[in-house]
């Protein structure tokens, strides 16, 4: 219990580090940095391999993915008039990403090219869309936001398949099964909403204080996560697929507040702090190859997303779209769990992600 209390107390520094409007950083990044300080790279106060901590962290991972996906308006993305342009930009970005990934693998000796390519193509919709909210609407801005959402969606789907050593067939079958069940849940929710039964259940739950919608959501999420693990698939697919099913039906404001409270109040900070506790900064700074990896992933991400400039996407938007958080975080979590990534490699990936976010913070001010 004391260990969990320590992790949560350390996680409070995440919001504190994000308060400054000028120098603030995303809450999740602050929590990861705090984890680095109290974990393997610093004081060794947190054992990330403790069974209880590990279980709670995995639940946090699933909830974070569900929370992020539940705020992506899939129908709006695919109904957008600029969908074709956004898909073209994402497709073109695959070329420099794949090329850079294999060059990085050749120069560093790390045989993780598919994972590197997925990370460099990715964007962080959860970070960028709120950050650019209120920006003057234009066709180019619409291309930017749609491109970010699509890159995020496709990267999250592709990441588990890019992990070296994974049973490709099993992972693919598991991803399809979990996604199919999430689609059935979406259709069922839509059917119940159409005849008013779901609204009636919500009203009874609200009046009687049952918390019914949150309870059912957690039961479904954990069931999907367990099914995903049975197939050898990362639980991020379960969380993300279920989040999209919720979003496609419209995220009810009451459920939104409940999920936010459970996730941000307990599970998310625990996940991010524990994730940081596993990262080994000493290994990173003592190995030139790892420093090269961090620099190359950062540069590769910028070049990959700058390809949009070829089709008249403003450079400020192209550079901003390189911001990464969810996919690198997921890659580290999966890589650490499966033994594919060393603690030093995880640190290199996280450093590169932090640098891309730094570029985004600069470009965001230019947009204003």
CATH number at residue 104: 1.20.1530.20
Confidence of residue 164 (pLDDT cuts 50, 70, 90): low
Confidence (pLDDT) at 316: 86
Number of neighbouring beta carbons within 10 Å of residue 4: 15
Residue 23: pLDDT over 80: no
21, part of any domain: no
Cα–Cα–Cα angle for 22, 27, 28, rounded to 5 degrees: 135
Contact (Cβ atoms closer than 8 angstroms) between residue 244 and residue 182: yes
Give percent above pLDDT 70 in the chain.
93
* pLDDT per position as a tens digit, 333-360: 888 877 888 888 988 998 898 899 888 7
Confidence (pLDDT) at 133: 63
* pLDDT per position as a tens digit, 247-303: 888 888 888 899 999 998 999 999 889 988 888 888 888 889 999 999 999 999 999
Q: Comparing 364 with 253, which gets the higher pLDDT?
A: 253
pTM of this prediction exceeds 0.85? no
Residue 166: pLDDT over 60: no
109, part of any domain: yes
Maximum average pLDDT range among 78-82, 298-302, 357-361, 364-368: 298-302
Confidence (pLDDT) at 306: 92
319, part of any domain: yes
Give percent above pLDDT 90 in the chain.
24
Average pLDDT, the chain: 85
Helix (H) and strand (E) counts for the chain?
20, 0
224, containing H or E segment: helix 212-230
Confidence (pLDDT) at 235: 85
* pLDDT per position as a tens digit, 181-196: 999 999 998 888 887 7
Q: Comparing 168 with 244, which gets the higher pLDDT?
A: 244
Nearest to 166 by CA among 118, 205, 211: 118
Residue 135: pLDDT over 70: no
Residue range 5-31: average pLDDT?
81
Count of structural domains, the chain: 1
Q: Which domain holds residue 342?
A: 2-16+27-367
Whole-angstrom distance between the N-terminal and C-terminal Cα of the chain?
Answer: 46
* pLDDT per position as a tens digit, 85-95: 888 988 999 99
Maximum average pLDDT range among 136-140, 355-359, 360-364: 355-359
99, part of any domain: yes
What whole-number distance in Å separates Cα of residue 211 and Cα of residue 21?
Answer: 35
Nearest to 262 by CA among 49, 124, 59: 59
If you ran DSSP here, which 8-state letter would residue 252 be given?
-
């Amino acid at each position: 219990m004391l260990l969990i209390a320590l992790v949560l107390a350390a996680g409070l520094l995440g919001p504190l580090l994000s308060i400054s409007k000028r120098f603030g950083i995303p809450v999740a990044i602050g929590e990861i940095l705090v984890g680095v300080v109290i974990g393997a790279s610093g004081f060794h106060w947190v054992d990330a391999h403790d069974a209880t901590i590990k279980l709670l962290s995995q639940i946090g991972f699933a909830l974070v993915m569900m929370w992020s996906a539940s705020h992506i308006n899939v129908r709006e993305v695919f109904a957008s008039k600029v969908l074709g342009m956004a898909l073209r930009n994402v497709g073109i970005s695959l070329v420099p990403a794949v090329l850079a990934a294999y060059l990085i693998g050749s120069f560093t000796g790390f045989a993780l090219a598919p994972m590197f390519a997925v990370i460099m193509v990715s964007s962080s919709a959860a970070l960028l869309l709120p950050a650019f909210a209120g920006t003057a609407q234009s066709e180019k801005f619409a291309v930017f936001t749609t491109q970010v959402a699509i890159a995020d969606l496709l990267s999250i789907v592709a990441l588990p398949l890019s992990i070296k050593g994974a049973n490709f067939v099993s992972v693919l079958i598991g991803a399809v099964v979990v996604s199919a069940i999430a689609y059935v849940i979406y259709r069922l929710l839509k059917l119940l909403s159409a005849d008013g039964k779901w609204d009636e259940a919500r009203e009874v739950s609200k009046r009687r204080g049952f918390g019914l919608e949150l309870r059912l959501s957690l039961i479904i999420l954990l069931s999907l996560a367990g099914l995903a693990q049975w197939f050898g698939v990362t639980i991020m697919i379960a969380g993300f697929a279920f989040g999209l099913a919720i979003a496609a039906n419209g995220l009810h404001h009451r459920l939104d507040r409940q999920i936010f409270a459970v996730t941000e109040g307990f599970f998310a900070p625990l996940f991010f702090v524990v994730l940081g506790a596993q990262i080994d900064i000493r290994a990173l700074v003592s190995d030139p190859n790892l420093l090269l990896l961090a620099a190359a992933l950062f540069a590769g991400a910028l070049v990959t997303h700058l390809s949009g400039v070829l089709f008249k996407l403003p450079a400020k938007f192209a550079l901003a779209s390189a911001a990464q958080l969810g996919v690198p975080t997921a890659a580290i979590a999966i890589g650490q769990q499966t033994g594919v990534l060393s603690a030093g490699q995880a640190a290199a990936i996280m450093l590169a992600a932090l640098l891309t976010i730094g570029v985004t913070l600069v470009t965001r001010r230019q947009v204003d």
